[in-house]
Amino acid sequence: MKKTLALASAFLFTLLLFSVFSFKPLNVEEGDKKGAFKYKDFQKPEYCKGCHNDFYQQWDQAMMSKAYTHEWDEIEYFKLAVAHAEADPKLKDVVDGCNGCHTPMAYLVGDVTPPKPSEGSRANESVSCEVCHLITGIEGDTAYNFNWVIEPGQTKYAARKGEKGSPNHKIVKTDLHSSTKICGSCHNEKSPFGVWVKSTQLEWEEGAYADANVTCQECHMPDTKMKTAAMGTTYPDARTHLFNGGHDPGKVRGTIELRIQPDIRETVPGETVVFTTTVFNQKTGHKFPTGSVEDRIVWLHVEAEDEDGNRYHIQVDKKGFEGEEYTIASDVLAYQDMGVPLGIENFEGVRREDVPIGDRIFRMPYFDPEGRMTIMQWNTASLGVDYRIGPRETKTETYTFELPFEIKPGKVKVTADLYYRLLVKPVGEYLEVPEEEYTAQLVNSHSTEITVYP
């Protein structure tokens, strides 16, 4: 009864909107978008929830609904980006542009800098239903820097027309919604220096999943038998709106397969054993890590343990490629450019990473105009070596272990652990980001054994 009433009122409300709204069949070009619309041109997600409750509940648990309000986003945006634009007014447009992807409505209505999340403004709707379902196309061939075209109004755009149609809105089918380009428009980003600081969709395009047409939607909106709307049709292949990624430990766990083996099984103290590790990216359609690569690290830790419980850390063998120093954990300082927005003169930086020294790190460093590592992607003038794990790529590392004389004879267990961190820990701690953003997550683990004779 309650539901019928809610539906009926949603229907009436829609009729009202049809008559009150002036339609804006605007083909807004890039650059014209900021401030081209009003908040009343967009429905709230709670309005769509009336008929699309399942999708609403899924979206509400995804990062999409928190792209503006999530604490680390708020800290980076206000403490670093907005403050940086205040110190250097040339950056104002770039920093307004953060909202083009994180809270597109606020950008489109010119509500920039938006109020802080605690003020409860409509900017908090983040990447809402209306944002994606009012997108009609992409400008140009390459999707990046929110170069979508949007047409607010009563027509919603999706990958199918809807068998029964909707009493509430029109539906127009587009090819874009089943293409990876709609995702790429926000998941590819070029910095003001012309550097690709986010390239998830481009990485996908270069990989094996593109050849097989396994799209972003296949893995992040997996299809299932489901009714897509109250009064709607049950489809065998309805697209869920889960959008789970790096923030879901379940999605990250097991992404990489990991094995370790020794070159000899039996040895004596003082001898050398070489362990080879194999990491195989079996699960991601892009590189791992991807997206906010300036923040993310993946590292491989290898340790031996004798029967007395003594532990010996084994460092990775150097391969000798250019830029390798950025892929082996050390205690050097980095991120000095944060000093500008933080108002600290000659800021010495914080540790580059807080990972056992000598562990292999799978990452790509971003450099500021002075060549120092940065997590401020808008201040990225160049990129370093790309030592991430591509889709279906396998990388091997060797770890040479010189057995100490004090090692206890018997079985020695050698374990390789692969960890993932959303944000390098020293930056998280320094900026007082909630700890869950930099907790080490175990991606995979494998052990092997050797026997040591006296």
Range 6-25, binding ligand HEC (CB under 6 A)? 7, 10-11
Q: How far is the CB of 306 from ligand HEC (least distance, A)?
A: 34
Q: Which stretch binds ligand HEC (CB under 6 A): 264-272, 290-298, 328-336, 424-432?
A: 290-298
Which C-beta is closer to ligand HEC: that of 110 or that of 232? Answer: 232
Rounded Cα–Cα distance for residues 150 and 135 (Å): 4
Q: Which residue is nearest to ligand HEC (CB)?
A: 291
User: Closest Cα to residue 399, out of 362, 356, 359?
Assistant: 359
> Does residue 14 have a cis bond before it (omega within 30 degrees)?
no
Which C-beta is closer to ligand HEC: that of 201 or that of 448? Answer: 201
CA atoms within 13 A on the CB side of 71: 11
Rounded Cα–Cα distance for residues 379 and 359 (Å): 28
Q: How far is the CB of 191 from ligand HEC (least distance, A)?
A: 9
Q: Is 37 in the site for ligand HEC (CB under 6 A)?
A: no
> Could you give the 3-state DSSP secondary structure of residue 41?
helix
Residues 205-234 binding ligand HEC (CB under 6 A) are 209, 214, 216-221, 228-229, 231-233
Which C-beta is closer to ligand HEC: that of 275 or that of 378? Answer: 378
Work out which of 113, 185, 267, 380 binds ligand HEC, going by CB under 6 A.
185
Angle, CA of 332, 338 and 342, to the nearest 5°: 135
Work out which of 106, 123, 132, 149 binds ligand HEC, going by CB under 6 A.
132
Q: How far is the CB of 394 from ligand HEC (least distance, A)?
A: 16
Q: Which stretch binds ligand HEC (CB under 6 A): 105-113, 283-291, 331-339, 403-411?
A: 283-291
Residue 366, φ and ψ in degrees, nearest 5: -105, 140
Q: How far is the CB of 275 from ligand HEC (least distance, A)?
A: 25
Q: Which stretch binds ligand HEC (CB under 6 A): 30-38, 57-65, 362-370, 398-406?
A: 57-65
Name the helix (H) or strand (E) containing 342: helix 339-342
Q: Is 187 in the site for ligand HEC (CB under 6 A)?
A: yes
Q: Is 392 in the site for ligand HEC (CB under 6 A)?
A: no
Per-residue mark of binding to ligand HEC, 64-103 (x: CB under 6 A): x--x--x-xx--xx---x-------------x-xx-xxx-
CA dihedral 60, 30, 33, 149 (to 10 degrees): -50
Number of neighbours of residue 207 by Cβ within 10 angstroms: 20
- CA quadruple 342, 348, 349, 350: dihedral sign: negative
| Contact present, 288 and 255 (Cβ < 8 Å) | yes
Contacts for 207-215: CB closer than 8 Å, 24+ residues apart: 207/285, 207/286, 207/390, 207/391, 207/392, 208/391, 208/392, 209/285, 209/391, 210/180, 214/285, 215/178, 215/179, 215/180
Indicate the pairing of strand 266-267 with strand 441-452. parallel
Which C-beta is closer to ligand HEC: that of 63 or that of 342? Answer: 63
Residue 396, φ and ψ in degrees, nearest 5: -115, 150
Residue type (1 letter), 389: I
Q: How far is the CB of 271 from ligand HEC (least distance, A)?
A: 39
Residues 140-159 binding ligand HEC (CB under 6 A) are 145-146, 156, 158-159
Which C-beta is closer to ligand HEC: that of 70 or that of 351? Answer: 70
Q: How far is the CB of 181 from ligand HEC (least distance, A)?
A: 9
Which C-beta is closer to ligand HEC: that of 57 or that of 310? Answer: 57
Q: How far is the CB of 266 from ligand HEC (least distance, A)?
A: 38
Residues 349-388 binding ligand HEC (CB under 6 A) are 378
Residues 397-436 binding ligand HEC (CB under 6 A) are 422
